[in-house]
Structure 1
């Protein structure tokens, strides 16, 4: 199933064909942005629930994923800013980090919301880190070091939100099918 358009923004997902109730939704998944895939669609039996939960949260907060300090920053500057604060790297180069544990915690609290796909399931393990932002003008920017080292992948906010909603509806339908009915954890 493809939710959205590969050339703009899409979520591609499928449940494994041999699943029988009762079962969790195991399958394959990747995200497309400007024709670039993020995720290993050939990795079988991946847990899709973590991605579902994270997309649900992202849908609620995506329009708010911007800070004034990002204004005028290039893609590489944004990448280095977020990567340095959250992971202690600038691309492939480890930084000397002299921050205290409390300073690291504060940075994680402030900037962790920009993390995208990094810990969303094993299907995204091989694509490295990604970050997602949304400008006040409604342009979603995806930064992924493995795909576009000095570029940002862009999509319109309504397109991203539509893809997320379609994926969530599909996942909820699959969860009901595989569990014999609606489950409270899908609407909580």
Structure 2
């Protein structure tokens, strides 16, 4: 995913200023695609320069309200439906897990226990968000809830997998110690 497409997607629901978009971004997308204020405003300028959005209204103190253009809608549609997702080609957690043999088994187990705790904590945050939301039948509610549910299920799986991996390391450590004692 790119910030460009995230902003086009938010604007496809209606016009918004950079401030509005940053607020919507923080309340909806920050868990899957975080961005800073400077990144959002810089990307809005690039999108406008590319003709994918335009300034719909200018307000006091230079406040600009943007709306997506037909070209922007087509770019979003193309990206959503025709560009294959990159998926999980890079995952720094799994790279670290793969390389955990370079540290002591106890350290590796502690790494996995931390991963489980972080996943449980994030799952609790997602669950609280879900319970606090007044879900409707508008597009942001429907697809936002689908995204949030994925986060809840994914973090549950991460916690379960991390606990399983901790057990696997413990079993390998015990077996190695038994072999050393022989």
Normalised to the residue count of structure 2, the TM-score between the two structures is 0.27
Normalised to the residue count of structure 1, the TM-score between the two structures is 0.26
Larger Rg: 2
| Structure richer in helix, relative to its length | 2
User: Higher relative CO (CA 8 A, sep ≥ 6), structure 1 or 2?
Assistant: 1
| Structure richer in strand, relative to its length | 1
